[in-house]
Structure 1
Amino acid sequence: MTDGVGMAGGTARSGGEPEPTESLRTFGEVVKVFRKRALLTQEQFAPRVQYSVPTVASIEQGRRFPPLPFVERSEIVLDAFGAIRAAAKHLSRRPGIASWFQQWARLEAEAINLYTYECRLLPGLLQSESYARALFLNQLPMLDDEQIERQLAARMERQQLLRERINTDYSFILEEGLFLRRTGGTQVTREAIDHILDLAELRNVAVQIMPQIRESHAGLHGPIRLLETPDHRWFGYSEGQECGQLHTDPAVVSMLQMRYARMRSQAHTPEDSVSLLRQMRGAL
């Protein structure tokens, strides 16, 4: 899977990989106590730490891993005597996300540009709930119901980035074959296409489809992930079965950027891609 789940999307495998949510709840309570001590509402606190109100609410409820800038700004804004920083030290993992994906997930949450090419499964940030559930139901070793629901919740939570980080540019290049495979069945595929068409309407999201028949293809080496941080550093990421690797070597990152740029010219334009998705949706 990909995105730290074994199947494209951002959750953990079975066997104790996810962190218990209690530590996130505890951190959220610490922030909430100091926020109330400062006589601030979430609406007043959010702009001071430069995050949205929904993000603050999610962190205080223990449903979202706090980005490092949030921790530092909260500590300063709330004059928390080091308590918020101390509580954050115990948050080494995000719930429902595999350990090897942790570092990339943190960078992803702060990225100002995020580029993704996938040829295996729909990326986690674009998966509909029914598509993600179909992946978990087909995972081996099998997951129990509790594991499926926990991982599904983590994946849906992660997708909020697309709507919350409106100043981040998200680019996705997807192989046409991902939709022709009909993972999960016809109805699941319909819902997956509808979901992507809905996301493609966002101004900060561009979806391009790579034609099924393409004699020249710069992505034959496999999936590509790239991101740019707020301080304008670029990183790459690649993932196999039960493992992932963060690429920091400028030469490797440059090579991945070159391949991704070429694929952008080889794939259908965003407008033509939307038309193709609608055609495939109508043919189901």
Structure 2
Amino acid sequence: MSLFASELRRAREGFGWSREKLAEEINFSTSLIEKVECGNKAPSQAFAEGVDRALATDGLLGRIRDHLLTQAGLPEWFRSWYDIEQEATAIWWYELLLVPGLLQAEGYAHELLNGDESKLAARMERQQILTRATPSPPELVVLLDERALRYPMTDPQGMRAQLERIEAVAESFVVQVVPIDCGTHLHLDGSFGMAVLDGREYVYVDTPARGFVLDSPDVISAMKRRWDLIRAEALPRRQSAELIREVAEQWTS
């Protein structure tokens, strides 16, 4: 994002504005503007649009952001969820067959993305929200179907490394396994995520063609009910950790 950072700084200084003045005009914090200008924070779509309006740049920063995200392997339809994910205070995710992106080890993701280096770099960059110092990482709860632990996405060593990655994440966040013989079929309808950002709730629904971000109250209410029913069938955290460790050892035994 160095190009975006330099163009933002150039436009702001050309307008004769301080960071504080720009922050006041676009309703974002001065510290965020500083991080973006120093290349330490990726700008959201709302941020880019706000700066373009305030500094009369005719959409330049928005176009730069879109170009950089395209180069980074983030398809256009995923970017709204990417923005939500980066700023969310809470994320809940259910995954049926594959390990979700935020938990993927590099080798596993490499196989899943067919070796596309730009997409791999973007996938790994997304995970930085789990280890950042400021703001604090989001509350993260992952419900992971047992099938995802056993599906051979990569070779046995790679699968063991992936499950060890999940174990490591589970030390700081909530990861629960939904056993194959659970008492509901709702989990078989596919993967989905939910997030909270600025007090608003969002749902991400995956399909074979693309994903969709939804925020209608009816959809959110329905997905919350589905989440609660699936989680009721999940193993407790300790039993989940034991099963993950057991399956990890099975991959190389």
TM-score by length of 2: 0.79
Kindly report which structure 2 residues correspond to 1:254-273, keeping only aligned pairs within 5 A, or say none.
254-273=221-240
Identity of aligned residues (%): 26
Aligned residue for 2:55?
82
The separation in 2 between residues aligned to 1:245 and 1:70, in whole angstroms, is 21
The separation in 2 between residues aligned to 1:206 and 1:227, in whole angstroms, is 15
Q: 1:117 aligns with which of 94, 119, 123?
A: 94
Residues 54-106 of structure 1: CA distance to partner in whole angstroms, max 9, x if unpaired?
995344xxxx4x12576589x6xxxxx72789542222362311121111111
Kindly report which structure 2 residues correspond to 1:15-164, keeping only aligned pairs within 5 A, or say none.
24-31=1-8, 48-50=30-32, 56-59=38-41, 64=42, 66-68=43-45, 82=55, 87-90=60-63, 91-92=65-66, 94-95=69-70, 96-137=73-114, 148-164=116-132
Structure 1 contact 71–85 (Cα < 8 Å) conserved: no
TM-score by length of 1: 0.71
Note the C-alpha offset of 1:136.
2.1
Structure 2 contact 81–204 (Cα < 8 Å) conserved: yes
Structure 1 contact 224–260 (Cα < 8 Å) conserved: no
Aligned residue for 2:203?
236
The separation in 2 between residues aligned to 1:52 and 1:213, in whole angstroms, is 51
The separation in 1 between residues aligned to 2:102 and 2:88, in whole angstroms, is 14
Q: Secondary structure at the match of 2:93?
A: strand
Matching residue's letter, 2:31: V
Residues 240-262 of structure 1: CA distance to partner in whole angstroms, max 9, x if unpaired?
12222222221111000111122
Structure 2 contact 91–141 (Cα < 8 Å) conserved: yes
Matching residue's letter, 1:88: L
Higher RCO (CA 8 Å, separation ≥ 6 residues): 1
Higher helix residue share = 2
How many residues get paired?
234
Q: Could you list the runs of 5+ residues in structure 1 that have no partner in the other structure?
A: 1-23, 41-46, 76-80, 138-144
**CA 1:119 to 1:50, structure 2 compared with 1: closer, same or farther past 3 Å?**
same
The separation in 2 between residues aligned to 1:270 and 1:72, in whole angstroms, is 42
**CA 1:51 to 1:225, structure 2 compared with 1: closer, same or farther past 3 Å?**
farther
Structure 2 contact 5–36 (Cα < 8 Å) conserved: no
Matching residue's letter, 2:3: T
The separation in 2 between residues aligned to 1:189 and 1:54, in whole angstroms, is 36
Residues 1:275 and 2:242 aligned together: yes
The separation in 1 between residues aligned to 2:46 and 2:210, in whole angstroms, is 27
Note the C-alpha offset of 1:52.
9.8
RMSD: 3.1
Aligned residue for 1:220?
188
Q: Secondary structure at the match of 2:66?
A: coil
Matching residue's letter, 1:258: R
Q: Secondary structure at the match of 1:89?
A: helix
Structure 2 contact 9–37 (Cα < 8 Å) conserved: no
Kindly report which structure 2 residues correspond to 1:166-205, keeping only aligned pairs within 5 A, or say none.
166-202=136-172, 205=173
Structure 2 contact 8–37 (Cα < 8 Å) conserved: no
Q: Secondary structure at the match of 2:110?
A: helix
Note the C-alpha offset of 1:51.
8.4
Q: Secondary structure at the match of 2:74?
A: coil
